[in-house]
Structure 1
């Protein structure tokens, strides 16, 4: 595996931060959750109780192993947009994954690790011309498209590209449906494939958002036949991301569909672009209650408003897109089973819309200074954060066992 770690002692902290610059190497029997609780105890003795996350890099490696076992024919190209932390990218580079990039900055991030251009797909169907030119200069040849206008740009700026046609697929089961923005209809594919040929461009494959049923793979078979009829050598199927529901069940459906429509003897290479599946369970966040207000709701029932030092403008913006609110784990001991109240969780900014969900959650009565833990917040949290109103997002520290650290140290 070709990757340059740039030194394991590289500092990922801001000047003056009290956090360690190195990876936290967990001892025998240690866990990321224990590290979260240890850090909470440490910060509870200080007036500075800033929000933080602990990223379990071993969980990331475990998710990679699970993906490969469940989908042995499918090689993952990790979606960088999901979480672009240098340590996350380094671990995945060392494990040999490919990478799905959507911009020049993401290309630069991955290429700076020493990842070969052949392990990258520039998977944004609508790219700036300057970004296409950068990909051409750096030898990144695998690009997606879904329109004639995109073909014109590629023909001008990257004629040696190997193109992947993104098609529309039914994606109502996907966490984030994308069909309103991207994808070519089956009716348009024949024209696009012919137009690519006339422009001297090579189309090598088809992609779709996997948040759909197996019919999409059968549709790709039809587009492969269209491509071959137009003179293209079709050799790549890209399932993209958006794995919904129970992963093992979806993997079984995908494997059966591949066996039927793209059996192994066809020689078709199959890739996917998972993001959330890899990252969701990797990070655990700890936030502090910095304010509290009790109000009377309809019928005189008591409601509680908790103001946290992290919110949707920080690491929790993605929460507002989720169908059900996140109920955090309370880090506090009670002498008996506490009474629960309907609670609204607000972030720290002055924006009244800075709340963690539109619905209330049920929590016991807590005090200013108490801590809440949110597990499984590794996907689309850090990468969507901002410093609105002067509040920095949660700091992230990275934990690993000694074996994974050894893998990183040995990577060339």
Structure 2
């Protein structure tokens, strides 16, 4: 049975994620933070990707946001998936994704995860060291290997080369030879310029390196070089675009892989996830600090989500979050700071901000909150994780509903969005007799 609050709401007319959040908050019983997930944003970004980079197949990076509805939607659209663990492979295959649409893109894999991938038929996987080659030789000698090289963007939100990727000039040639000696098959090259990269020319450099390694690999016995994985790094905010980077990538592919049958894939994460999720958080307390000699009065606002929850992205993903009052106001902004609900002094969402005066019971909205937030959040100090309220436009729903592995019971057409969002309480050791309302404690199949 599916809980009413966790169904996907089918909406008509003019609406936005903010207007949906206002409707939920206006219910009056809502106290916990919640997300509004706009399925249409995901679909629009998929079509934009295919239009701007028709040769590059998107393989969604599951680690960015493993919300099952997001993953299911992308699977229905036809994307592949970049999985980094057994659990991510389990998630993706559980919704019917074929193993050929998965790349096990973790260059340092646990043995049990390699064995699981072998059982599930996920044969394509990355490596960047001799140790990994020895492990794969022992556990999965039939694997189709992709060597991951390092080519870092000049600036990135989260650099990855410090952890993964062999040097394309000094290390990669030797590893290709070692793989050949071990009788392992290398079929391609991958790289990742860094998550949230701000340099576009880096893709040209990385594709140049890849072309050279394709030629070298063939000369040492890897005769089936057929896959280029250009990784991630693509922007995902509402006001960002991949048009500029698409021009660079398309040109580089034409120059170095034009006329070839090489399959090109990428691993976008935040591109699909970030803008689709809007977070609403309640101001539950405030504290006025008096003016000091050289400073204005300052207000501390305490909200019901923080850096141990959704705003872990501030610490770990280096995001610059922006707060705005959920309800429009014409009052003048004043100096303030925004704090999370826990008793930890480090739980600060925004150390400096400028917001109109708020009261306890007002709501703040945060856009672009779908990337590297939900998967990392924890209920530290006993504060619940936000729940996701998914919405979709009726016309889009009619065109997609037969593609999803979902039934009519997963959707509600029209009617008001209401709370509360609190997750079901943990059952007591001795369950009480069921009542006619027991169904509300059943988790939705999507979560």
Equivalent position to 1:344, from 337, 343, 366? 337
Per the normalisation by structure 2, the TM-score is 0.84
Contact 1:171 1:178 in 2 (8 A): no
**Residue-by-residue CA offset, 1:119-172 (whole Å, 9 max, x unaligned):** 000001100000000000110001000000001111111111111100010223
Q: In the TM superposition, what is the alpha-carbon distance from 1:324 to its structure 2 partner?
A: 6.6
**Residue-by-residue CA offset, 1:159-194 (whole Å, 9 max, x unaligned):** 111111000102232221101000000211111001
Contact 1:91 1:408 in 2 (8 A): no
Q: In the TM superposition, what is the alpha-carbon distance from 1:319 to its structure 2 partner?
A: 2.2
Query: 1:36 and 2:36 equivalent?
Result: no
Per the normalisation by structure 1, the TM-score is 0.91
Which residue of 1 is the match for residue 365 of structure 2? 373
Which residue of 2 is the match for residue 75 of structure 1? 57
Query: 1:227 and 2:217 equivalent?
Result: yes
Q: In the TM superposition, what is the alpha-carbon distance from 1:105 to its structure 2 partner?
A: 0.3
Contact 2:207 2:252 in 1 (8 A): yes
Alignment coverage as a number of residue pairs: 390
Equivalent position to 2:73, from 91, 96, 101? 91
Which residue of 2 is the match for residue 133 of structure 1? 115
Q: Distance in 1 between matches of 2:293 and 2:220?
A: 66
Contact 1:36 1:286 in 2 (8 A): yes
Q: Distance in 2 between matches of 1:246 and 1:348?
A: 34
Which residue of 2 is the match for residue 24 of structure 1? 9
Which residue of 2 is the match for residue 409 of structure 1? 402
Q: In the TM superposition, what is the alpha-carbon distance from 1:30 to its structure 2 partner?
A: 3.4
Which residue of 2 is the match for residue 7 of structure 1? none
Which residue of 1 is the match for residue 283 of structure 2? 289
Query: Which structure ranks higher in relative contact order (CA pairs < 8 Å, sequence separation ≥ 6)?
Result: 2
Considering only aligned residues, what root-mean-square deviation do their CA atoms show, in Å? 1.7
Q: In the TM superposition, what is the alpha-carbon distance from 1:338 to its structure 2 partner?
A: 2.7
Query: 1:163 and 2:157 equivalent?
Result: no
Contact 1:325 1:361 in 2 (8 A): no
**Residue-by-residue CA offset, 1:197-227 (whole Å, 9 max, x unaligned):** 1111110000111443411110111111111
Query: 1:362 and 2:354 equivalent?
Result: yes
**Is the partner of 2:250 in helix, strand or coil?**
helix
**Is the partner of 2:43 in helix, strand or coil?**
helix
Equivalent position to 1:205, from 164, 177, 188? 188
Runs of 4+ in 1 over 4 A off after TM superposition: 321-324
Contact 1:165 1:207 in 2 (8 A): yes
1:346/1:192 CA distance change after superposition, 3 Å? same
1:399/1:324 CA distance change after superposition, 3 Å? closer
Q: Distance in 1 between matches of 2:346 and 2:108?
A: 31
Q: In the TM superposition, what is the alpha-carbon distance from 1:31 to its structure 2 partner?
A: 3.4
Which residue of 2 is the match for residue 5 of structure 1? none
1:301/1:54 CA distance change after superposition, 3 Å? same
**Is the partner of 1:281 in helix, strand or coil?**
helix
Contact 1:94 1:408 in 2 (8 A): no
Contact 2:60 2:267 in 1 (8 A): yes
Contact 2:56 2:264 in 1 (8 A): yes
Equivalent position to 2:296, from 298, 301, 311? 301
Q: Distance in 1 between matches of 2:402 and 2:268?
A: 26
Contact 1:314 1:385 in 2 (8 A): yes
Q: Distance in 2 between matches of 1:69 and 1:62?
A: 11
Q: In the TM superposition, what is the alpha-carbon distance from 1:86 to its structure 2 partner?
A: 1.2
Contact 2:149 2:190 in 1 (8 A): yes
Q: In the TM superposition, what is the alpha-carbon distance from 1:356 to its structure 2 partner?
A: 1.2
**Residue-by-residue CA offset, 1:6-45 (whole Å, 9 max, x unaligned):** xxxx63x6xxxxx523211112333333211111111xx2
**Residue-by-residue CA offset, 1:240-286 (whole Å, 9 max, x unaligned):** 101257411011011111111111x2111000000001111101111
1:130/1:321 CA distance change after superposition, 3 Å? closer
Q: Distance in 2 between matches of 1:331 and 1:71?
A: 36
Q: In the TM superposition, what is the alpha-carbon distance from 1:323 to its structure 2 partner?
A: 5.7
Query: 1:121 and 2:113 equivalent?
Result: no
